[in-house]
Amino acid sequence: MHFSTIFAATALVGAAFAEDHTVAVSTKSGDLIFKPDSIKAAEGDTVTFKFWPKNHSIAQAAFASPCQPMANGFWSGFVPTTDTAAVANTTFTYEVKNASAPIWFYCTQGNHCNMGMVGVINPPTSGEKTLAAFKNASEAATGNVSPTSTAGTGGNLTVNGTTTSGSASSSASAPASSTGAASHLTGSVAFAGLTGLFTYFLL
Ligand SMILES: *[C@@H]1O[C@H](CO)[C@@H](O)[C@H](O)[C@H]1NC(C)=O
Ligand SMILES: *[C@@H]1O[C@H](CO)[C@@H](O)[C@H](O)[C@H]1NC(C)=O
Ligand SMILES: *[C@@H]1O[C@H](CO)[C@@H](O)[C@H](O)[C@H]1NC(C)=O
Ligand SMILES: *[C@@H]1O[C@H](CO)[C@@H](O)[C@H](O)[C@H]1NC(C)=O
Ligand SMILES: *[C@@H]1O[C@H](CO)[C@@H](O)[C@H](O)[C@H]1NC(C)=O
Ligand SMILES: *[C@@H]1O[C@H](CO)[C@@H](O)[C@H](O)[C@H]1NC(C)=O
């Protein structure tokens, strides 16, 4: 009884502390920005990206390679929407698994990254790896590359209230430690495939 009481209390505390942070991808008026573009999130927190017109995306980059997809990084896919009155029904949610690892991201559409449409989750609190430096580097970058992975990779893609979990998450996640994790991954890949198909028909 004591154990279950403590367990329940711990679960409650955990749930109470996990926070969801909303990031607007562009704005009603189509500004090439993320709002906010710097997010401080604790381990277990989620960041939900909400899309405005016309057709944006988010992908994870390494600090040293802005506007280029990071290996095993997250990828929302493109989310086209024309509705300027309400944010799109498609959202992408990323869970922070390591609050010490900065997560740099950008919009892969056209030259949006090169126009400074970049952001960061948990930027370093000291040193030269600042969002301003990343933005400068993205503006100096010559290309803007979309990942080739399936839309929804590394997070959850929700379309009209139906959530599909993406496949293998970023390298910042803890290593898989059991066969249970492997079978979970297989299921996720299947889901991601469906999401990709869905996205294909959307376009
Ligand atoms: C994604 O969805 C799964 C299943 O509903 C859930 O367990 C997981 O916490 C979700 N992850 C994020 C980042 O929201
Ligand atoms: C979390 O990220 C930091 C900084 O990148 C790294 O040193 C550390 O090993 C990571 N921890 C885990 C559990 O992956
Ligand atoms: C970014 O570029 C601006 C304009 O060129 C410059 O003033 C600023 O010092 C740069 N910031 C960093 C962190 O490199
Ligand atoms: C978003 O989803 C809600 C409920 O699923 C629906 O009523 C609404 O029309 C949708 N909006 C768009 C722009 O698809
Ligand atoms: C989302 O819901 C809206 C309104 O019900 C509908 O018009 C739209 O086609 C739906 N989108 C998808 C991808 O199901
Ligand atoms: C959204 O942008 C992508 C990449 O530029 C493009 O392939 C796709 O056709 C666009 N979708 C719509 C509906 O404009």
Report the percent of the chain where pLDDT is more than 70. 74
User: Could you read off the pLDDT of 86-110 as tens digits, one per residue?
Assistant: 999 999 999 999 999 999 999 999 9
The two tokens of residue 114 are: 């090169």
| 16 ligand 6 Cβ < 6 A | no
Ligand 3 site residues, Cβ closer than 6 angstroms: 130, 132-133, 136
This prediction has a pTM of 0.80
- Whether 164 is in the pocket of ligand 1, judged by its Cβ within 6 Å, is no
CB atoms within 10 A of CB 82: 8
Transcribe 147-195 into DSSP letters. -SSPTTBTSEEEETTEEEE-SS--TTSPPP-SHHHHHHHHHHHHHHHHH
> Closest-lying ligand to the alpha carbon of 56?
6
Q: What percent of the chain has pLDDT over 90?
A: 71
CB-ligand 1 contact for 186 (6 Å cutoff) = no
What mean pLDDT is predicted for residues 24-35?
96
**How would residue 166 be classed by pLDDT, with cut points 50, 70 and 90?**
confident
3-state secondary structure of 62: strand
What's the 199 CA to ligand 5 centre distance in angstroms? 12
Q: What CA–CA distance (Å, rounded) separates 110 from 62?
A: 19
189 Cα–ligand 2 center, Å: 25
CB 47 within 8 A of CB 41: yes
How far does Cα 123 stand from its chain's mean position? 15
* 167 in Cβ contact with 124 (< 8 Å): no
Q: Above 50 in pLDDT, residue 143?
A: yes
Specify the residue with its C-alpha closest to ligand 6, atom 8: 203
Tell me if 60 sits within 8 A of 76, measured CB to CB: no
Token duo for residue 182: 């492997």
Which residues are near ligand 4 (CB < 6 Å)? 83, 89, 160-161
Tell the residue nearest (CA) to atom 13 of ligand 2.
Answer: 174
Of the candidates 160, 166, 169, 168, which has an alpha carbon nearest to the alpha carbon of residue 201? Answer: 160
